[in-house]
Structure 1
Amino acid sequence: MKKAILCAAALSLLLSLGCGKKEDKVVAKVGDRTITIGEFEKAAEAMEEKYLPAAADLAGKKALLEIMIDKEVMAIKALTAGYDKEKGFVNFWERYKGQYLVAAMENELVVKKVTVTDAEIKNYFDKMHNEYSLSQIVLADENEARAVREQLLGGADFAEMARKYSLSPDAGDGGFIGPSNIGEMFHWIEEALFSMKEGDVSQPLATSTGYALIKVHRVRTITPDKDLEWAGRRLRAIKEKQLLMELKKRIEKEVGLVIYKDAVDIVYSNLPPDIDFGDIVEGRVTYENAPKLEVPEQYHQMLMAQFADSSYTIKDYMRIYETIALPDRPRRERGKEHVVESIHRRLWDHVLPTYVQEKLKIQNVPEVAKGLEEKREMFLVYSLYNDQVGKEVVVSDPEIRQYYDEHQAELLTQEQRDFGVILVGSKDKAEEVARLAKRGDNWAKLAVKYSEDPSVKDNGGRIGLFPRGRYVDYDATVFSLRKGEISEPVQVPRGWAIVTVFEIKAPEAVSFENAAQSIRTKLSEERSEKILKEKLKNWRKGIDIAIDEGNLNKASLKRTRPAAPPGAAQ
């Protein structure tokens, strides 16, 4: 059945289009707007598969281009109709703009600045062979951290000082963290450990919530369960976090942030009992019946935090607490540090958007300015669509039932396969394992002995029952095997794999209860498609639209819509 692509694709396109230098040959003009080859190719790369054309020929390119033209027409219509001036949109956009610019600041000043060399990756991977037994003391203020460290160097007992001063939930255990591996700890701890030996106490280490002192009890050599590729991803993430933390610390100093420990202590001591996360998920605990933060009135005017020309009292914080999402509210089990963390989050939510606009002026970066305008148009198109199309679409329960009864034979689950994988580092070893498996050796024992993937080892080399698409590196092999068959060695991104299939679960009929929502979505999309097509005919009137097929033919279309997998529900 024909896919409803216009209504959703024209909208989703704006979500994925980014910014950057583009080829400037024009493939289409829409009023006074243009669509270039670069923009076309970027849209093709970013578009969801289900909205792509089936072929990469000129007809397929024109189909994709028509979606882009529809988006431009809708943006013109939204602006002409004044959606950008509506109070609700203006208020929403001011809030969103701040969030977007904060993300843009991180991209421009953090992500783009980070580089990772092969030598650095190898060095980090080598250090992943060390396990450290540690204790920590976490404090909100750098000066306090330095004072505590002086006492420790003077002979004070680390565990006693942790019990007395630390904000961390392990304070009651003398700050003892236990054994931890490089690759599993906060990056600021790892960086300090690289130059420490047993018995050392670190300098105050800047964390996301304050400052930490770390003591090394013991170091031993281990074999890491992650590979070199993982180490590279981890190292890049660490560098980005470090740069972002330095940036935030600098901003906090500029705005003069001070968090008062005595007030944190009082708030923490009056936190309500921790809410069970299961009760939140199941809806048994809501904003209405969740336990409140109640602090004796005598402390209400006590300063908790101060920055720039603003401050929070404990009474202010009690109001802030009520606005925090239930899963994110400070918890007793996470210690006083969690209260401090919530203050930092509040600061960033309210101070950072203004700071990046007024101080950093990130909106003046050309790529950021263009991306911001694209996002603005995206939301304008959504507003137009919801107002002009979405409100007119209604699908009734009887219609859903009727569709199910008429198409029940077509509504099937995907075929699933219960399969196993043994992953090794070389083709020679893979061939040896395949030979042993084919002669009848126990699969689970082979996995334990040979597999270099620890997560699979624990399950005897068994991945589980999954449809096509969940493990794309193995799909072609898994869905080509018969039950019980052992594959030849297959090269995958992480090494060489031998695959077997334990069970094959054939497609099954979908119950009405499980199919109802997807049917409602399908019927809604079809009706939205029909309504939008009619409206677009009217909206296109008076707008000059021209397509340059010569330039369009020069554009690359590397992705097309894949065929539906066998057994997929229609």
Structure 2
Amino acid sequence: MKNIKRGLLILWCCAQVGSVWAQAVGVAAKVNGVEISNFRLERHFADYLLAQGRSVGAIRSPNVYKRLKTEALEQLIDKELLWQEAQKRGLNVDPARVQTALKKLKAAFGSPENFARRLAQEGFDEASYTDYLGQELAAMMMLEALTPVSAPLAAEVDRLYQLNMKQFERPEQIQARHILLNVSSASDKESVAEVRQQIIGLQQQLNQGADFAALARRYSQDSTAQQGGLLDNFQRGDMVPSFETAAFALLPGAVSEPILTQYGWHLIKLEQRHPAVSMPEQEAKALIKRQLATEQVTQARAEALTRLRSDSELVVLSR
């Protein structure tokens, strides 16, 4: 529903910045002699920001504002080029398709009154917006016609799968809790032994039925103390060797003997073990195929728009 509303070029956010309307006079660009007014740019700019989850009032940096405004203008120029090309080729949108799209937009606003009110805020009436919507649909159809792409070759999909098989595998992982009592690297043997006795004391409490998470919250000197010592899932190679070896040797629910690392003395409790998994080959190849198709479409569209621009007369007056 939200995406449908965005398609209406909402100017609601522009009400926060009154100066926008003062600037919406004059011409932003000319495309083969056809003017793109500043007013038209402001309407499209609002929609461009909303599509990115932004609003005019939230932009604090003048450089960011200028960059986004330029991007919106470039997009608007592309739309005008596509519309003009559609006219040249006699590409017409089925009126029934336009009416279907219009009906969906009306439904998104809950009532005809809300829809009409929003159109008026944007400088449209239903007739002019219907014309505009037809142009938008024609531009989209023209872009599709200019960028026919074939399905990715099976051989290329196979090749990329073989090269990236590791990317579709997740090695064995575990989740654990730990209690850490710090030992400085400069500590002498007596200090290390003293801290070891403290961690043994906590081990004895666990053996008597104490809750590991509760002890971690009370005594652990690690940043995970507030989470009861809970660590994120990790795999072999993520932790220091002595800690990792002890953790992976445990069964779920078991607690390790005191383990010394460069950080201090640890007690480790294994919460759960996640075995290694691999994405099925067919699923992985389907993912590669979709990515290749997306890349081909993106490249083809960029090339088509570049050709249209090179064959056109463009004058940009607003930067």
Q: TM-score normalized by structure 2?
A: 0.48
Larger Rg: 2
Q: TM-score normalized by structure 1?
A: 0.30
